[in-house]
A and B are shown apart, each in its own frame.
Chain A
Amino acid sequence: MQINPLLDQNPEQFLYLFNLELTPANLDKFKNIRYVIMQGSSKRSALLAKKLAKHVAGIDTRFFEPVNLVNTSNFAVYRVGSVLAVSHGMGNVTIDALLHAVTKLLHFAGNTQLEYIRVGTSGGIGIEPGTVVVTKNAYMPNLEPYYTTYELDQRVDTPTHADLALVERILAAQPDKLSFPIVSGNSVAADDFYLGQCRYDGAMRARRDHDYRAKFFEKVHALDIRNFEMESCALGAFCNRAKIPATMIAVTLVNRFEGDQIKSSAEQLVEFSERSQQVVINYLLSRKDLSN
């Protein structure tokens, strides 16, 4: 883990994005963390925290509600053992903000050995809906394997690849009789859910026709890209610079070769999103440092 050296020159009293005073009592809540599991919505993070409480600590979750440890409605942070279950909202910009905030907090609390895993949903490229994809490398929607940001007025392109050893550990931790398909592959993180992911059903007109898109999707598939979502680039870029092992586990809700809209029933969507949580739980349970 490699942190901004300026942070230790000017110790901060207050973490703005979490609206959190950095008092010893508050920092104490974040000591001895090993895993940060990130999801889009706070509801899914709370649900994961409940499942972990049951599996890791044997808690009867009928009588357990996880406590949000930060004071903002933009992000939620729950803790079970050495795992933080956090939410980041939708898109590269919001997960970048969350990554900075949570990493600063964990650094100030004295943590040095961390793994970051995003658990989410996505649109599949040529695979059955319900397939879980573990990300090896993240691409921008122009199919470049980096994340472009600007620092002052200078363009910065940061590599976005995941930690392949972590990807292998996650795959190896899955039981043989997993009831759904799981693959490793590459991902595209688009900032525009509609035109960025080549959809025709947004408010703005698409400038390219279906033939163009079919050829583009062939190119996408040939790069071993198996899903489109909205955060893997910022996650990969941040974690490469911070030297934190990271990857993404995302279930696919549609096969984009077949259509644009997400039409599965609410029950089916819930069952699909349980799958990516199940994969990360299988991984976490294979680890020896979950409770501390």
Chain B
Amino acid sequence: MQNLKGKSMDKSKLNPHFQQLDVDYLYHLGLDSSMKLKAEFGDVKYVVLTRSFSNADYFANQFTSAYYGLNDVNITCKTIAKDERYHIYKVGNTIIISHGVGFPSMLICLNEIVKLMWHAGVEDYKFIRFSPGGGLNIAENSIVVANQALNQQLKAEWSNIEFGEYYTYPTILDEQLSTDLITANPDAAIIQGKILASSSFYNGQARTNGALAVNYTKQQAHEYLSNAYAAGARGIDMESSCFIAFCHEMGIPGCVVLAAVADRLQGNDNEPSLRVDNDKLSPVLTAAGQVIINYILCNTKRD
């Protein structure tokens, strides 16, 4: 089998405090360290994170069909643990989890998954996050693979307030995982670029059709998005700067697969519908999921 290469996480970055607790409650996952986490999660190699409950539900079924070669059977995977905050699935060597909208919700998920992996005795794993997002000067329904993110000032940084003070983290990851993902998908038209990450869907992403009045013109918004493109951004979302900063800080190999549902430089404030027939994802999200599946399958040893 081809490369199982890539670095594993930097254990010196892991907070020792939670490791010493009698019982560590992963409150938002609905798991705790008194459960048989090694038996249930000890074989995990990949964690696939996506935004919405329905994306995770759909991808879990798509992944399971591909992983076990169930071509003619309709299956519905069941979530594990609590399903109120996140939908969690474990299929083969992969955890699939929805992280909610925006980086604060995702950051809880990242923290508790890393704690879960430690309790399960897993040291070598990769994070791949995928979701719909906006595109910048790329065709609608393109797939962007990214190992870098920009904040709203177009810097490769993410800031966090910890114990009352701001700290800044770099948002650039080793490109190995992105490269491997692209290598595993020779037939897919994948665009490599950076993701512009904002904390507000409307006014933070230069839209002019939010509920609040904006203090910029449509022309200024277009110029800003053009500047983001010139800085290397090809996609826009609300999570990637935090995701990449967290992976970098913890030394976890990671990358982002973004399904661009609109080209914001063509003036689309309103993206098209993401769900067709209620439960089916849009074709570009299914294709983005397939890119991840192809990568995991060609890096997974099977008996």
Which A residues are within 8 Å of any B CB, using their own CB? 2-7, 10, 12-14, 16-17, 19, 40-41, 43, 71-74, 89-94, 96-97, 99-101, 103-104, 107, 140-143, 149-153, 190-196, 198, 200-208, 212-213, 216, 230, 238, 241-242, 261-263
- Bound together, the chains give a CA A142 to CA B160 distance in angstroms of 10
Partner of A242, one of B151, B211, B246, B271: B211
Give which listed residue, A89, A149, A213, contacts B101 with CB less than 8 A. Answer: A89
B168 to chain A, nearest CB (A): 13
Contact call A16/B270, Cβ cutoff below 8 A? yes
Q: Once the chains bind, are B209 and A97 in contact (CB under 8 Å)?
A: no
CB 8 Å contact bits of B150-182 with A (1 = contact, 0 = none): 011110000011111111000000000000000
> Contact at B15–A204, with CB atoms within 8 Å?
yes
The residue that B161 contacts in the complex, of A41, A104, A142, A153, with Cβ under 8 A, is A142
Chain B residues in 8 Å Cβ range of A2: 213
Contact with A along B41-63 (1 / 0, CB 8 A): 00000000001111101000000
B120 part of interface (Cβ distance < 8 Å): no
Q: Which of A4, A40, A89, A205 contacts B211 (CB 8 A)?
A: A4
CB <8 Å contact, A19 and B160: no
Q: Give 7 nearest A-B pairs by CB, closest first.
A: A93-B102, A91-B104, A150-B152, A94-B101, A195-B162, A203-B114, A103-B211
Contact check, A195 vs B160: say whether CB atoms are below 8 A apart: yes
Q: Tell me if B14 counts as interface (CB < 8 A to partner A).
A: yes
- Residues of chain B in range 182-220 having any CB-CB distance to chain A below 8 Å: 198-204, 206, 208-216, 220
- Name the one of B112, B198, B209 contacting A7, with C-beta atoms under 8 angstroms: B209
Whether B84 contacts A194 by the Cβ 8 Å rule is no
Selected contact of A71 from candidates B57, B165, B278, CB within 8 Å: B278
How many residues on B have C-beta within 8 angstroms of the other chain's C-beta atoms?
76
Distance (whole angstroms) from the CB of A129 to the closest CB of chain B: 14
Does A192 contact B209, Cβ atoms closer than 8 Å?
no
Given A19-B273, A191-B104: A198 touches B163 (CB 8 Å cut-off): yes
B270 near A12: Cβ-Cβ < 8 Å: yes
Query: How many angstroms from the CA of A201 to the CA of B114 in the assembled complex?
Result: 12
User: Given A104-B211, A263-B25 in contact, is the A73-B54 Cβ separation under 8 Å?
Assistant: yes
Cβ–Cβ < 8 Å partners of A40 in chain B: 85
Q: Cβ of A152: which chain B residues have Cβ within 8 Å of it?
A: 152, 206, 216, 220-221, 224
Query: Which one of B16-24, B137-145, B290-298 is at the interface?
Result: B16-24
Contact (Cβ within 8 A) A208 B13: no
Other than A74-B51, A93-B200, A97-B201, give 9 A-B pairs with Cβ distance below 8 A: A14-B270, A19-B273, A89-B105, A96-B102, A97-B238, A103-B211, A153-B227, A200-B18, A202-B18
Q: Given the complex, which residues of A lie within 8 Å of B115, measured CB to CB?
A: 202-203
* B104 and A94 contacting across the interface, CB-CB below 8 Å: yes
Q: Are A193 and B107 in contact (CB under 8 A)?
A: yes
Which A-chain residue is minimally distant from B12 (CB atoms)? Answer: A205
A200 touches B17 (CB 8 A): yes
* B13 touching A205, Cβ below 8 Å: yes
The residue of chain A having its C-beta at the shortest distance from the C-beta of B108 within the complex is A193
B213 touches A4 (CB 8 A): yes
**Cα–Cα, bound, A12→B53 (Å):** 26
Q: CB within 8 Å of A: which residues of B?
A: 13-18, 21, 24-25, 27-28, 51-55, 57, 84-85, 100-105, 107-108, 110-112, 114-115, 118, 151-154, 160-167, 198-204, 206, 208-216, 220-221, 224, 227, 238, 246, 249-250, 270-271, 273-275, 278
Contacts of A202 in B (CB 8 A): 15, 18, 111, 115
Q: Within the assembled complex, what's the spacing in Å between the Cα atoms of A184 and B257?
A: 44
> What A residues does B216 contact at CB under 8 A?
151-152
Contact flag A153-B101 (CB < 8 Å), given A90-B85, A100-B212, A195-B160: no
Q: Which of B28, B107, B238, B274 has the largest number of chain A CB atoms within 10 A? A: B107
CB closest chain-A residue, reference B16: A205
Q: Tell me whether A150 and B52 are in contact in the complex, defined as CB-CB below 8 angstroms, given that A100-B210, A192-B162, A206-B15 are known contacts.
A: no
- Tell me the complex Cα distance, A28–B34, Å: 51
Contact across chains for B107 and A192 when beta carbons are under 8 A apart: yes
Q: Which residue of B lies closest to A96 (CB)?
A: B200
Complex Cα–Cα for A262 and B32 (A): 11
Shortest Cβ distance from residue B230 to the other chain A in the assembled complex, whole angstroms: 13
Q: A238 CA to B100 CA in the complex, in Å?
A: 20
- Which residues of the other chain, A, contact B13 by a CB distance below 8 angstroms? 204-205
Given contacts A203-B14, A206-B163, is CB(A92)–CB(B209) below 8 Å?
A: no
Residues of A within 8 A of B274 (CB): 19, 72
6 contacts between A and B (CB under 8 A): A2-B213, A141-B161, A195-B162, A200-B15, A201-B24, A202-B115
Q: Provide the bound-state CA to CA distance between A141 and B215, in Å.
A: 26
B52, B103, B118: the one contacting A191 at CB < 8 Å is: B103
Contact: A153 with B107, CB < 8 Å? no
> Which of A14, A90, A208 sits near B104, CB closer than 8 Å?
A90
Contact A201 B164 (CB under 8 A): no
